[in-house]
Each structure stands twice: as structure tokens, then as C-alpha cells.
Structure 1
Amino acid sequence: MSDRSEQTQALDPDQRAALDAALALAQWAADLTWDTVPDEVRDRLRLVLLDTLGVTMLGARLPERAGLIDAWTPGDGPAPLIGTGIRTSPEVAAWLNATALVSLEMDEGNKFAGGHPAAHGFPAVLALAATLDADGPATAAALLVAYEVGARYGRASTAVPGLHPHGNWGFTGAAAGCAKLIGLDADQITAAIDAASGMPIAGPFSAALDGNPVRNEWMGACNVAGLAAARLAKSGMANPTGIAAHSLGGLLGAFSPTVLVEELGQRWDIGLGYFKRHASCAFTHPTADAALVLRPQLPDAGVDAITGIRVSTYSAAANLHRTRWNNRLAAMFSIPYVVATALRDGRVAPDGYDASNSAEFRALADRVDVVADAVFDDRLPDARGAAVEITLADGRVLREEVANPIGDAAREPFDYERTVALLRDLLGDGDAVARVLEAASSLPETPSARAVLDTLTES
């Protein structure tokens, strides 16, 4: 019996199951080539990449980012910090691009994974691709591996109550994508995934509700850990033990290895994700959509005619009920903030926060009551819904219910034109949008990922 076989036999059954499933997933990843990917999946990868690059550039423009970048004192290197004029090491680029990407709550997500597979792995893969000057097909295949592996680990993980999904199951996607890009084989990709699944962050969801920006840093840590795990596997020092059974399972919740390989090679999770038109937590989006439907039905007095607002939604979303916030992050995780912004402005955009501390705005938010309704819980994860009831001073009640938010794969999914329109609205800069469009379109076929990504360095 080989040393590897003896070691595997010494593992407990849960570890062996986790390791076997990881190996099957890694074999799929090792065998994947861009030219064998179905056309519709290739198109979806480009669309997710377009959203990711555009939203990263948007986040990079936040005024507080300058101080953060200065605090890192990034040295010279080949990897671009999108929208900053800086080129630096892959580690610094992966971390800071990841935190910019998630800072405005507009990054693509996946309700079946329960989080954001692209944000967990794309910054690391792109930074590594620029560093290695990889070609487009290799980079695109690695991005797809990062998404699919991360999404499957998200599906397989059931978190303990109160755990935020940033920076735990997604480590595996970052590691798999980076390992794929540096040309590791199936055993080595398994080792990278296993190492990454031993690095998860037990981040409390309360950080988002409280407006603690460490919540964004978990995504930076995830991407850098993916790089580290791939390098550990390449060195031969990684020792895969099915550790996800005791980290993602046990410590952080429950883990189901069989989910990792369900419909492997047939189902593409990247096609089941959602895009966000509101600068707020995805849990708030069905509520925002319902409020926007009701807004034109308000009387001439507008929001002043409202005496009460009742939001019914699924339990996880109902926890976002605070009517006070101390910064933009906390506001984006408040349904009262989102409802008040939607009714006041007709949209929930990043600049909506600027007026949210006025007495009039706070008074409107105070009239929002958020409750959990088991009807919506029973429909998860296929439907993430909410109902909004607005009571007016004249006694009338306006009501709207939505089963899924706009942008979800199940309701008005974003296409190329809609994504471009959203980025034009958000960035307000034709040149920046054109560069993002060209990068997302050309990257999968380019002979030089570095040359393409370098066009995004400037804001």
C-alpha cells in the first residue's frame, strides 16, 4: 500500500468523502479547456467578467480608497490595481481589487451558492494572469474553474447561524482557479483546494450590519489565500486530508461532499447567478424592486403621504431591519434604508447614501417595519421574495409582491445591453466603460492577459 493510500485510510469517513469529492472536482478542472466550453457558458463568463471589472473600477473610485491604498504602500509589479494608475505585486492587486469589487454591494452573486463565487476568485486569477502574462484561453478557463469550484463548495456548505459568506467556502474557488492557471495536475489542484478549505474565516454577519469594513477585507484575504494555496500545492508541501469536513463542516456548519460533484460536467453554476442593479445587500433586492413598483402609485404628496410600510420577506433578509446606520456599509444592509431610498429617489444607487442622515429620511425609514414570513422561507433557494405594503394617510394600502429580484436568472436576467447600460449609469464615463467592455470581450482570446488588463489601470 502506498503512503498516500495508507494516509487516506487513516482519515475518518467524513474526511475521505470530502477528499474523494475534491479529487473528482479537481480532475474536472484539470481537464477543462476553453475550446471545449459551450458557447453559452463562454458568453456568460464574459458577462460576469464585464460586471466584475466594471464594479471593481467603480469601487476603486470611492474617496476612502486612496487612504487604504496609501497604507498598503504597494511596490512596483506587473498586476494592475484597477482604476488607480498603480501596478503592483499579485498579492496586493488581488487583495485590493477584491475589496474594491465588494465595497458597493454590486458584485455578481449566486443564490444557490449563497454568496459571490466571482468575487471570491476572479481578483486572484486576474492578478496572477497579469503576473504570468498568461494567454486568454488559459485565463478564461481558470476564471471558469474558480467560479464553478467556489459555487459548488458554496452549495455544499450550510453555515452556522450568524456566519457571513465572505471568506470561507470561496477560498476553494480562488485556489482552484490559481492552481489551474499555473498548470497543476488533478492531484495538485486537489491539494490546493484542500489547503484553501482549511483557511476559512469565521466572519460574523453582524460586521455588515454594524458597518465594520473588515467584512470587505475577508474577500481580499480569500483571494490572497487562493494564491498561497496554489503555491503550496505547486511546491509539493500540501498534504490533502479532506479538511473541509472539519472546517466548512463541523466548525462552521455542515458540509455535504456529494453536492460537489452533482451534475458535474453538465450543470454550469455560472449561468445561474444574478446581477445587481441596487447598491445594497442581495437580501434587500426583492424589497427594493417591490418598492419601486409602488412608487408611481403614491399620491402627489409622495413619501409624505406614507404613514407606515410593512415588509414581509424570508428570515435571513428580515434580520436586516435596523433603522440606524453609521456608514454606507451598514446602510446597504438595512431594508429600511433601501426602502426609503427607493421611494425617495426611484433607485438605490451608491450616491443615495449621501442624503440618508437627514431628519426627513430617518423619519421615513422609521416607518418601515420588517417581518419574517415562513411562506418566503419555504420557497428558498429557488425564489428569494418579498412583499411590501404601504399604508397611506387616506387609509389606502398599496401592496406589491415579487418572487425574485430583477437580475436573477429566474427574473429578467441581465444581458449584455442591460449590463452595459448599468455600468454607463454608474461610472458616468464613456472612456472607462469602453475600456471595461473591450477587456471583458477580448480577454478570453488574447495572447497577452497582461496587455488587456493593463488597459484598466487608469481610472
Structure 2
Amino acid sequence: MTVSRHPPMDVESRLAQWVAGLSLRDIPDSVLAVARACMADGVGVMLAGSTTPLAEQCAALPCADGMCDIVGSASRADAPSAALLNGVAGHVLDFDDTSYAGIVHGTAAVLPAVLAVAQASDADGARLLEAFVAGVETEYALGLAMTDSLYDQGLWTTATLGVIGAAAGCAKLLGLDAASMAHAIRLAANMPIGLRITHGTSGKPYLCGMAARLGVELAYAAKAGITGQAGTFEKPRGYAATLNGGVFHAPAIDALGMRYALLDPGVAFKLRPMCSAMQAAVDAVIALRGQHAWTLDEVESINCYGTALVVSCLPYRLPAHPSEAQFCMPFAIACTLLHGDVRLEHLNIAALADPDLRQLMQRVELHEDENLVPPADIQTCPEAARVDIRLRDGRLLSHTVLAATGMPQRPASTEILFDKFMACATLALPSEHAQAIWTRLQRVEHLPHTRSLFDSTTSARRT
């Protein structure tokens, strides 16, 4: 008797089979709650980002008319262009969520892409939410499979993996079967855009927008019948071998549907518009201000100790531009000492030129401390920080924060996220219109038409 043996399924087919079979009713409520929070936070940050000079610059890029909202504007565009512009707006302030499954901003590329395709086809909110989960979970599964190796080698995984997540989510919305969806993923794997050297420039948010745009285009390409090579991830001269030194942890792919990365390792929501590597240090400074009586005139020196990831993410010492300040620990600490926190209004040239701020920044030093986090906790506390403030009278004030507020183990409350959303959204919209969008996003699966998500936005801008 002959026994039929089927060859093992390649990574792309396994991903595609899971995405194609995913149904909203099968996703746990706890996962959907995090997904809605990510979408609402992402939209709020897009609205704030739409008011920035970079968003205005990118609005001059060529784009075609269409049915997809350019968030924060009365204008609409075709799906690829809307994905690009909304992706730029969603990441320009570096205020969007982060996951440590590969160290990515998962919402940043996936949400603009799936939103654009949903609006192009006038899909309902349930399909949008379903596609968003499919896209980010694909991206996170690949991030876990690649480990932190891609990021450590200098690839900016938000774009490098984000284009794949965006393509998978868009393919889900387009209703592709598993075979075609696998080709969308293969094609996206051929677009490893983004290098960490770009951090601190306008190219970083632009490349996030390009990842979203490419995700849209590659899903449509697969729908049209364009194919990639089976085994793109694991074969010689494939993704893992070429970009990641052969590192690929296959069980992360097998766990899709059993482990949702939206819950484990979870998503960090930022409370300040800057790199996540600075958030714990700011929490530490705020704690020291509340615990001890002292003035800035008494400060002799400030030393911040962070993990290897913290130090590697923050190359700037005295930033010349706001985009550099978002990757500068001396700025984060000095700004918090002067103003009590770091807020959107502190990210401008005038604020950076403040002589008191510049003088304080020069007193801040950043150091790596490999013993800061117990080895058993490094996976859950990858961006811990300790701040030591030496006063002129000899006192040493010290505080350690292993996980900033907003991290999965110290989650931000719905009230905090709502306040952040409103602070961001009202930069572009009247308060009542912003609140209407928030309310829709809390029940996004009940929205009959995704084209109506921003109705209040467009009516406000058109009057």
C-alpha cells in the first residue's frame, strides 16, 4: 500500500491559511478589546500627525482621486495614496503603539493600509476589525519568529515587517483565497524597506507610510495573479537567510490562533510623543519630583541608566530638530524637569532653543546598565531605566522604572487613552467631532460602512 506524504507547508502558506480562515467570531473578546484600543489610538495619532509640516509636504505627492479618507482632511484619494498619507500622519509624532514581538509599531503600517482598502470597497467595520487583527498578528508572528535579530542588525522592523502585515490584512479584506494570499505575503517579503539609521529624520514616518502603501499594492497584485516563490522565508537565499542570518523560530508561526501577540507579549501605548525607549526614564523623573523636595538650581548632574535596547535606540545628544529630540534621552529628561512631562507642544524648534532646556540637557548622561533588569524579566522589561539626580548638597536621588505606564504589565486605563485621543484629535477637529469618531471606534464592528467613519471630520472640513 502506498502512503501519500504531502510536503510540509511553507511559512507563507501557513500564514495565509490562518489569515484566510480567520473569522471575527473566533477571535477572543480580550483580543478584540486590545485591537479596538489600537485602532482608536492609531486614528487619534493620525489626526494629530495630519497637522504637522511633514503631512503637508506629503500632501503634495502625486495621488489619484478615490473613496478613501485622508485623515484630518476633507480630501479623499485612491487606496495606495491614502495608505501612504495616513501612514505618515500616524507615525510622524512617534506617538503610536509598540509591540516587542520583533520590536515593531504594529498599528502604524497595518491600520492605514486596511482602512484604505476597507473604504475603497466600502467594507463594514466588522471586516475592517477582522483584517486589522489578521494583519498585526501576521506581523507579530513574523517578529517573534525572526526574534530581535532583524532589529539588532539595523533593519527598521516597523516597515520591514509592517509591509507584510499590511499586505496580509489587505488580502483578507479583498477576500483572497489562501493560495493568492500566500503570494501577497511572498511579494511583501521582497520589500524589506527601512533602516534604523533613518531614525530622527522625516524619512522614518515616510517609510512607514510607504510600507502601508506597498501592502495595499501587493495585495491587489496578488489578486491580479502575480506570484512569488514558495518558501520565500525559509529557503536558501530567502528572507531569513538573506536578512536575518538564518534565524527563524518556526513555533511562532505554528502558534497563530492559539497565542495572540496582541495579548502576549501585548501592546504598549505611549503616553508621550517620542521613542518608547525614553518613556520609563520620564516616569522615573516624574516620580522623583513627587517624592523629594528640591529645585533645578540644586541639580549638579543627572545620570540615566538603561538597557542595551534603550541605549541603542537613542543616538542623539543635543538635538537640532524635533525629530531628533524624539530619540534623545537628555531632551526627554530635561523637558520633564522643566515642564513636568513631555507633550506635543514641546516638539518644535522654539521649544528646543530654550536656553534653560539646552543647559539642562548638557547635564544629562545616558549609560548602559546590563544589570538593571533581572535576567528573568528582560523580555517583559526591555526598556527599563534608572535616573540618578545628584544635588549640590551631596544628596543622590534615584528611582528605577522597569516598565513605563502604558506597557502591557502597567496598562493605561481607558480614561487615559481617551484623554490622549482627544488631545491628539482636537488638534485637527472640533471636540464634538473627535468624540463622535472615538465612540464609533469603540464599537467599530457595528459600523455599517467604513466610509462613514470620518463623516464628522469631512463635514467639519467642508463647511
> Is this a same-fold pair by TM over 0.5?
yes
Partner AA of 2:91 in structure 1: V
Local SS of the residue matching 1:421: helix
Distance 1:131 1:420 in 2: 28
Cα 1:434/1:30, change in 2 over 3 Å: same
Distance 1:350 1:252 in 2: 36
Which of the residues 299, 309, 317 maps onto 1:316? 309
Alignment pair present for 1:164 and 2:159: no
Partner AA of 2:325 in structure 1: A
Residue aligning to 1:204: 195
Residue aligning to 1:372: 368
Distance 2:347 2:452 in 1: 36
Distance 1:358 1:259 in 2: 51
Residue aligning to 1:54: 44
Residue aligning to 2:392: 393
Residue aligning to 1:362: 358
Local SS of the residue matching 2:378: coil
Local SS of the residue matching 2:435: helix
Distance 1:419 1:166 in 2: 22
Residue aligning to 1:415: 413
Q: CA deviation at 1:222?
A: 0.7
Which of the residues 172, 184, 192 maps onto 2:184? 192
Alignment pair present for 1:289 and 2:287: no
Distance 2:432 2:238 in 1: 45
Whether the aligned pair in 2 keeps the contact of 1:191 and 1:238 (CA below 8 Å) is yes
Question: What fraction of aligned residue pairs are identical, expressed as a percent?
Answer: 27
Which of the residues 225, 247, 253 maps onto 2:214? 225
Whether the aligned pair in 2 keeps the contact of 1:323 and 1:362 (CA below 8 Å) is no
Q: CA deviation at 1:167?
A: 1.3
Local SS of the residue matching 1:436: helix
Q: CA deviation at 1:81?
A: 0.4
Local SS of the residue matching 2:357: helix
Whether the aligned pair in 2 keeps the contact of 1:305 and 1:392 (CA below 8 Å) is yes
Residue aligning to 2:269: 275
Local SS of the residue matching 1:112: coil
Alignment pair present for 1:36 and 2:32: no
Residue aligning to 2:79: 90
Residue aligning to 2:253: 261
Residue aligning to 1:3: none
Where does the alignment leave 5 or more consecutive residues of structure 1 unmatched? Answer: 1-7, 10-15
Distance 1:409 1:357 in 2: 35
Whether the aligned pair in 2 keeps the contact of 1:123 and 1:223 (CA below 8 Å) is yes
Q: CA deviation at 1:248?
A: 4.1
Q: CA deviation at 1:321?
A: 5.0
Alignment pair present for 1:236 and 2:242: no
Q: CA deviation at 1:316?
A: 2.3
Whether the aligned pair in 2 keeps the contact of 1:77 and 1:87 (CA below 8 Å) is yes
Partner AA of 2:409 in structure 1: A
Which of the residues 148, 151, 169 maps onto 1:177? 169
1:270-294 deviations in Å (ceiling 9; x for gaps):
2211100011101111111111111
Which of the residues 236, 241, 259 maps onto 1:250? 241
Distance 1:228 1:259 in 2: 29
Whether the aligned pair in 1 keeps the contact of 2:433 and 2:456 (CA below 8 Å) is no
Whether the aligned pair in 2 keeps the contact of 1:166 and 1:218 (CA below 8 Å) is no
Q: CA deviation at 1:85?
A: 1.4
Local SS of the residue matching 2:157: coil
Whether the aligned pair in 1 keeps the contact of 2:12 and 2:233 (CA below 8 Å) is no
Cα 1:370/1:113, change in 2 over 3 Å: same
Distance 1:186 1:142 in 2: 14
Cα 1:261/1:68, change in 2 over 3 Å: closer
Whether the aligned pair in 1 keeps the contact of 2:90 and 2:108 (CA below 8 Å) is yes
Using the size of structure 1 for normalisation, the TM-score is 0.90
Residue aligning to 1:328: 322
Partner AA of 1:279 in structure 2: P
Distance 2:316 2:219 in 1: 41
Local SS of the residue matching 1:199: coil
Cα 1:109/1:278, change in 2 over 3 Å: same
1:109-135 deviations in Å (ceiling 9; x for gaps):
112231111112110100110010012
Residue aligning to 1:445: 446
Please give the root-mean-square deviation of Cα atoms over the aligned residues, in Å: 2.1
Distance 2:17 2:172 in 1: 11
Whether the aligned pair in 2 keeps the contact of 1:188 and 1:234 (CA below 8 Å) is yes
Alignment pair present for 1:145 and 2:134: yes
Residue aligning to 1:25: 15
Whether the aligned pair in 2 keeps the contact of 1:21 and 1:257 (CA below 8 Å) is no
Local SS of the residue matching 1:296: helix
Where does the alignment leave 5 or more consecutive residues of structure 2 unmatched? Answer: 1-5
Q: CA deviation at 1:240?
A: 2.8
User: Higher mean Cα deviation, 448-457 or 214-223?
Assistant: 448-457
Whether the aligned pair in 1 keeps the contact of 2:110 and 2:166 (CA below 8 Å) is yes
Alignment pair present for 1:339 and 2:337: no
Q: CA deviation at 1:170?
A: 1.6
1:171-195 deviations in Å (ceiling 9; x for gaps):
1110100000000111111111111
